Structure 1
Amino acid sequence: MILGLEPNRLSIPPAVAQRISPSDVWRQVYQQLPDFPQENQYISKETGKVAENNTLASRLIRYHIYVKERTPNYRLDWKLTLADYLGANEIIYDVSYPGNDTLKQNPLEGDRAAISRLNRRQRQALVQILTNIFSPNPSTSPIPNTTNPQPPKTGGAELLK
């Protein structure tokens, strides 16, 4: 263990986790990319009805975060995930793919086909949108005052007495 970090344990940074739940991100993806394929025609094993909320975007996000344990706030990690879908990076195993346990038909083949139909511009837009959703908004971060910096306060240890 290096610097107290556990191997193979990636998580969403606390500030991001407080801001957004991964299970809600797929809705934002479709709001910003209305033409992104839904791929939500699969039948639920539990209800026997179409699982409309089990979308390509929700499965892509779950695969990225929970199956591959990749961080959601880096563009490169999302590009690696898309490369998995395109068969150019790591193998996606049927048994661990999101939806395999809850849908009557494993959606992996349909999802791979849908991702492969996207052109480069569409894939880049998807990566950017996912990165923006999961990354802290720089416009809300406090901006340091560099025009009139305050001198450092001294005697801090004295205040502890």
Structure 2
Amino acid sequence: MSKNLSFIPPRLKPWQALTALMVVGVIVLSSGADKSSIQTNLFSIQPAIAQRITPGDVWQQVYQQLPNLPRENKYISKENGKVAENNTLVNRLIKYHIYTKGRAPIYRLDWKLTLADYLGANEIIYDTSYPGNDSLRENPLEGDRKAISRLTRSQRDALVQVLVNIFNPTSQNTLSPNSNTTANPSTSTTPQPPQRGGAELLK
């Protein structure tokens, strides 16, 4: 028995197994590195967009394309006691969407969900975390809710489309001609697919 057992190690099978394990290890390590690099590239897309476009730039472009949108910029600054003219409805809407809720700025559905928040049809907007609460003497949330609720459906659609076009310029190739003209209630937009969730309540 002992002679038979002592004869097993010289066989090639253990070495073959060891070689196979080494090969598998190399494959796993290399594939793991590839997945990591792929994930890094994917997760870097959104920060790249954020670095290229800032909310301060976007809200001005929105009002240039939709001049009839309410500005809601008569609030007094806590810092200097003057009217904060640059603290607009769209500025706060963008900050709430991107920073407070962490939603992507390049998708129509995400913007519709944000508008649904303002209309009380989706998620709760908390006073303490709403943009402007820490910098303005009066929290603008209630006024912003009323301003959004007064918009017609076509105006909301136009606002959503303009925001998507600005953050994702490639979308303008097919969608912008119908949504970047005016902010009038009669503004028509490209037919959209049925939305799900809270966005359906925007109808």
**TM-score, length-scaled by structure 1:** 0.77
Letter paired with 2:128:
V
Aligned length: 135
Taking the aligned partners of 1:139 and 1:51, their CA distance within structure 2 comes to: 32
2:125 corresponds to 1:107: no
Uncovered stretches (5+) of structure 1, i.e. residues with no partner: 141-161
Kindly, what percent of the aligned residue pairs are identical? 71
What residue number does 1:149 align with? none
- 1:12-62 per-residue CA deviation (whole Å, 9 max, x = no partner) reads 351x33532222100000000000000000000000000000000000000
Structure number, greater radius of gyration:
2
* 1:35-74 pair list within 5 angstroms: 35-74=68-107
- Aligned twin of 1:78: 111
Higher relative contact order (CA 8 A, sep 6+): 1
Which residue of 1 is the match for residue 54 of structure 2? 21
CA contact 1:10–1:71 (8 Å) conserved in 2:
no
Pick from 30, 42, 46 the counterpart of residue 12 of structure 1.
46
Counterpart of 1:12, as a letter, is Q
Residues 10 and 69 of structure 1 are in contact (CA less than 8 Å); yes or no, is this contact kept in structure 2?
Answer: no
Question: Post-superposition shift, 1:67?
Answer: 0.1
Distance in 2 between residues matched to 1:129 and 1:103, nearest whole Å = 27
Stretches of 4+ moved more than 4 A in 1? Answer: none
- Counterpart of 1:135 in structure 2 is 168
For structure 2, list consecutive stretches of 5 or more residues without a partner in the other structure: 1-34, 174-203
Match of 1:159 in 2: none
Structure with more of its chain in helix, by fraction: 2
Amino acid at match of 1:131: V
